[in-house]
Structure 1
Amino acid sequence: MTALFVAGAHTDVGKTYVACALLSAARAKGLSVAAFKPVVSGISADDWEASDPGRLIAAMGEPLDAARLEAVSPLRFAAALSPPMAARREGVRLELSGIVAACRAVIVAARADLLLVEGAGGVMSPLAEDGLNLDLMQALGLPVLLVGGSYLGAMSHNLTALSVVRAAGLKVQALAVSQDASADAPDFDETVADLQRFSQGVRIVPVPRDAIDWAENLV
């Protein structure tokens, strides 16, 4: 089994989009897939099909029902805030140890060819009262698929996240760079080339808005 941790260099840079593309590409090759996003905030209990967990479930070809939602994302909170902030508003205290235990149980039980564990927010975003996404990543020790953007300023965010993850002793499988849709975004190809120049040998994978074939080369 291949297991990867899908982490973001920033918030809303396309982690779930990249994860879903990989799941779909793997299934197209005849591989079995699984995904786990232990914590999610900003999700409606009544209308979650288009949420991150809902998209992951759909990409796995699984039914969009309550049982699958619980299996893919057991810790769900309504407020669109960091997980610990959102949890507090519902009287819940998120502890890193519980999240780590849930992830490890999924990893041990998984029988899929490809398992993706997706974080919430960026690498240094709080995930629990006592830990960041990076702390979960270190506890699990999985190779990391880092997802970043190409907006103005993303170069620093991407390279900083890359440096932090590598300094933590984690292997970076690749840095997937999502093309920004803004009219004033820097040139995408030039941004990708500059990231490759400064990435110290880490593979840079362009994720253009108008193509999906890039995912086939990652599975």
Structure 2
Amino acid sequence: MRKAIFMTGTGTDVGKTYVTALLVKKLKDRGYDPAYYKAAVSGNTRGADGRLIAGDALYVKNISGIDQPLDEMCPYIYERAVSPHLAAQIEGDPVDMETVRKGFEKACETHGCVVMEGSGGIVCPIRCDDKLILLEDIIKTLGLSCIITADAGLGTINSVVLTAEYMRRNGIKILGVILNNFHAGDVMEEDNRMMCEIVGGVKIIGTVAPDATDIDMTDEALDALFCEEE
């Protein structure tokens, strides 16, 4: 059985964390005992004690209602709102793959399943100094298959097709696409949904309406995310 899945996006600000939170909530409501994990997160604020707070992790925790400790959800937290590799160059504490792996394995051991979220889009440098770590390196090291989050609006055919093609070229399995900001019945967005499948060769497994509190996804599609690998 597949223990964990990876959430990536067609780019920054497509609602990946929002969709991830709703997916974790849906898994919790279905009895999966999910955990959330993210290798590195940038653009965070400090609490009253001066420590950086992993904003994405806190958001997912609050929306989904999971009781996972916040300090186990993301090992690398940066203040600058830039790519993790650049934030680490400025602030120090570059991402170490072994630290990421250990945190991920702990989440897998203590929960029924894990939803891991990426940083930015699929082409995201995580570290660049004496070592180069890209987001795809983390996905491959942990042996994960991916869901792509995309905005349902204008331009999504191009962004979904290019993201999917890059992932296939690099040996990353795509489980499906979730369209965010989807207006059911909108002529263009319904066509985008169809064309992403036809041109991109991907399956739209769910949609999220603006300001929704749930993903429009069948229980069968949800369960299929954790079925045996083909």
TM-score, normalisation: structure 1: 0.83
State yes or no: 1:74 paired with 2:75.
yes
RMSD over equivalenced CA pairs, Å: 2.7
Distance 1:141 1:23 in 2: 20
* Residue 177 (structure 2) aligned to one of 169, 175, 178: 175
Distance 2:133 2:56 in 1: 22
On the 8 A contact 2:182/2:207 being kept in 1, the answer is: no
Indicate the residue corresponding to 2:226 in structure 1: none
SS in 1 for 2:32: coil
5+ residue gaps, structure 2: 223-230
The Cα of 1:107 is off from its aligned counterpart by 5.3
Residue 154 of structure 1 aligns with an amino acid whose one-letter code is: T
Residue 47 of structure 2 aligns with an amino acid whose one-letter code is: D
* Identity between Structure 1 and Structure 2 (%): 24
Deviations, residues 32-60 of structure 1 (Å, cap 9, x unaligned): 11110121000112287792111122244
5+ residue gaps, structure 1: none
State yes or no: 1:148 paired with 2:147.
no
Aligned length: 210
User: Within 5 Å, which residues of 2 pair with 1:92-111?
Assistant: 92-95=93-96, 97-98=97-98, 100-106=100-106, 108-111=108-111
Q: List structure 1 segments (4+ residues) > 6 angstroms apart after TM superposition.
A: 47-50
Residue 144 of structure 1 aligns with an amino acid whose one-letter code is: C
Deviations, residues 55-108 of structure 1 (Å, cap 9, x unaligned): 122244246xxx92221012100000000111222123334x245423543355
On the 8 A contact 2:44/2:54 being kept in 1, the answer is: no
Deviations, residues 162-203 of structure 1 (Å, cap 9, x unaligned): 11112222221111121279xxx9822121121121122x21
SS in 1 for 2:179: strand
TM-score, normalisation: structure 2: 0.80
SS in 2 for 1:122: coil
Change over 3 Å in CA distance of 1:166–1:99 after alignment to 2: farther
State yes or no: 1:158 paired with 2:160.
yes
Change over 3 Å in CA distance of 1:91–1:31 after alignment to 2: closer
Change over 3 Å in CA distance of 1:14–1:102 after alignment to 2: farther
Distance 1:38 1:122 in 2: 14
Residue 101 of structure 2 aligns with an amino acid whose one-letter code is: A
